[in-house]
Amino acid sequence: MTTRVFHVPDISCDHCKRAIEEALGELPEVDSAVVSVDRRDVEVDGTASDDAVTAAIEQAGYEVAPGG
């Protein structure tokens, strides 16, 4: 299992947090996803590829900052 952090500058509230965590929760390769509204980042545990995680976050309506 790998833990990675993705920076998502548009996270601003609990709605953002729920939307992203739900989108990532649908990926079978994601064991857990924790969104920090204060830090505006998403910590993902699991074997999902970076591309799959980024695509799920974008599908939820948020953009992942380049480089993380």
pLDDT over 90 (residue 2): no
Q: What is the mean pLDDT of residues 23-50?
A: 97
What's the predicted TM-score (pTM) here? Answer: 0.92
Strands of the 41-46 sheet, one edge to the other = 2-7, 41-46, 30-36
* Structural domains of the chain ordered from first start: 2-59 (3.30.70.100)
- CB 51, CB 8: distance < 8 Å: no
pLDDT tens, position by position, 52-63: 999 999 999 999
pLDDT over 90 (residue 68): no
- CB 8, CB 63: distance < 8 Å: yes
pLDDT tens, position by position, 10-21: 999 999 999 999
Percent of the chain with pLDDT over 70: 97
